[in-house]
A and B are shown apart, each in its own frame.
Chain A
Amino acid sequence: MGFERFGSKSFTSQAKVSEFVDYLDKGELAYTKCRTCSQAYFPPRADCANCLGNDMEWIAFEGNGKIVTFTHTMYAPTGFEADAPYTIVVVELDGLKVLGRMNKEVPVDTLSVGMPVKVEIVKLPDGQVTYEFLPA
């Protein structure tokens, strides 16, 4: 239980990695790292594809990242219509890549590939929790 609280609209109710949501509640974006072989994963995984182990530790991202790529969408799928337009971005953070949205107030024409950004946890009025990026 618990994963249905991730994002403005979640498509998954149960996941072994629902601690991800607990970290968001604490104000942190976290990834998992295999204690056996040290492989790090974002999105977080309960199982290691590298050594087949399942002894994972949770680590919160630290510091700033940089934009790998982004797009400003004028259209939204069903369930997200009220959000459009919005900017989807892929960010490199602590050697891993993370997909999310830019903060809505950030004009898209101020963005560029390689630009430094920081992550911010967002608690939505309906109890959902997510994260977004802002210029660092």
Chain B
Amino acid sequence: MPKDVAIVGVGQSAFVRGYPGSIRELAFEAFREAMQDAAITVKDVGASVVCSAPEYDKQRTPSGLIAEYLGLIPQPTFIVENVCSSSTSGIRVAYSLIKAGLHDVVVVLGFQKMSEITSQDSQERMGRGADIMFESPFGTLMPAYYAMHARGHFAKYGTTEEDLALIRVKAASYGVLNEKAVYRKAVTLEQAMEAGPVCSPLKVFDCCANADGASCVILASADKAKEISKEPVYILGLGAASAPMNVTGRNTFSGLDCAKLAAKEAYEMAGVGPQDIDVAEVHDCFTIAEMMAYEALGFAEPGKGPELIRNRETYKEGKIPVNVDGGLLSKGHPIGATGGSQVRTIVLQLRNKAGAIQVPGAEIGLVHNIGGVGIYGNVIIFGR
């Protein structure tokens, strides 16, 4: 179990609709919190990795602008983009920079101000996150792709719309407790089932909301972490994989192969298995995405994901608590910031500082962050 790189600081802005400021100011909110958490100064930082899906930004090459505003000039800075999984890919890069010995401390800053463009334009950009030659001309969009995976899961395993609704009910019950979430109301099973259709079989409450937000994760070498941090949280394993962007190249519509491969790699590197995970944050941009994550991560056998949620095993008191911060479904999904927000939740859990959502005695945590509809998969395992 490697313990070469640690997280020494985490921060997150509130995720909101229509942030009343610029992207540099939004980024600073997460950065300030993470730097204060790490109790370091900008002189301690060796490099910054800025993570964003730039099609939402009017600012070209935002890494330079953001690094300047954060006070991280003249250190090296660059952008990492992997759509919805940008900031966990940024963490993978930061891990490599530290493990290679190039830097001791690296800041990973993820942000997105999605409200700069309309929801329709946002869908158009997301639609172009598919194969623009052979898929986008049909008017494809993100919820449609996940909906086709829901249909695939239903057809293969008999999963129902109610199973998906139960995932939203769980997420909302924790969103109520999360001051940084965009959606903070409870959702009943009846509300979720009676909501209007988006892309069948997915309905309004099966989908997360666009949001503006920023996250910041500060990584350090183990030696540096011991020197500056009282409660470092170590990266025990990382896995990453990709799958064909054009869904016609996929083997299955009942799961995401990139997530399965990334999980296998992360578990092997960490020397742990699904049964060892005390708390997990998974990429629930849609309810079906969380259902597929249960199975990709080995929390349930293929096809048995519905039983986990029916038996409330993914609630805080269950066998494997998942998304007890409300998940993307409640928090909102500011593309470039999302993975960093998931990591923050797990770090707070492993420090025993997660407040009302604390899973008692959590020692090993997992983050599952997906880019596009299973184009990119990142799984990271953390421990104290």
Interface residues of A (CB under 8 A from B): 3, 6-12, 15, 42-43, 68-81, 83-84, 86, 88, 90, 96-101, 108, 112-114, 130
By beta carbon, the residue of chain B nearest A86 is: B139
Q: How far is the CA of A3 from the CA of B137 in the complex (A)?
A: 11
Partner of A11, one of B120, B133, B248: B133
- Quick check: B246 and A43 within 8 Å, CB to CB? yes
9 inter-chain pairs at a CB distance below 8 angstroms, sorted by A residue, are: A8-B137, A73-B139, A75-B141, A76-B139, A77-B139, A88-B138, A88-B144, A130-B137, A130-B138
Stretch at the interface among B195-203, B218-226, B316-324: B195-203
- Quick check: A43 and B121 within 8 Å, CB to CB? no
On chain B, the residues within 8 Å of A12 by CB distance are 132-133
Within the complex, the shortest CB–CB distance from B90 to chain A, in Å, comes to: 27
Partner of B248, one of A42, A72, A74, A101: A42
Query: What are the interface flags for B171-205 relative to A under an 8 Å C-beta threshold, 1 for contact and 0 otherwise?
Result: 00000000000000000000000001111111000
Given A69-B151, A70-B151, A90-B253, do A75 and B138 touch, yes or no (CB 8 Å)?
no
Q: How far is the CA of A44 from the CA of B134 in the complex (A)?
A: 9
On chain B, the residues within 8 Å of A80 by CB distance are 139
Given A3-B133, A6-B137, A10-B137, do A69 and B149 touch, yes or no (CB 8 Å)?
yes
- Quick check: A71 and B133 within 8 Å, CB to CB? no
- Quick check: B144 and A96 within 8 Å, CB to CB? no
Q: How far is the CA of A68 from the CA of B144 in the complex (A)?
A: 14
Given A88-B140, A99-B134, A108-B200, do A77 and B127 touch, yes or no (CB 8 Å)?
yes
Q: How far is the CA of A15 from the CA of B134 in the complex (A)?
A: 12
Query: What are the interface flags for B296-311 relative to A under an 8 Å C-beta threshold, 1 for contact and 0 otherwise?
Result: 0000000000000000
On chain B, the residues within 8 Å of A11 by CB distance are 128, 132-133, 136-137
Q: Which of A6, A11, A71, A98 has the most CB of B within 10 A?
A: A71
Partner of A72, one of B134, B136, B197: B197
On chain B, the residues within 8 Å of A88 by CB distance are 138-140, 144, 148
Q: How far is the CA of A130 from the CA of B140 in the complex (A)?
A: 15
**B143 interface residue (CB < 8 Å to A):** yes
**B147 interface residue (CB < 8 Å to A):** yes
By beta carbon, the residue of chain B nearest A88 is: B144
- Quick check: B135 and A99 within 8 Å, CB to CB? yes
Partner of B139, one of A43, A83, A90: A83
By beta carbon, the residue of chain B nearest A93 is: B248
Q: How far is the CA of A6 from the CA of B199 in the complex (A)?
A: 24
Given A69-B148, A71-B148, do A81 and B120 touch, yes or no (CB 8 Å)?
yes
**B37 interface residue (CB < 8 Å to A):** no
On chain B, the residues within 8 Å of A98 by CB distance are 248
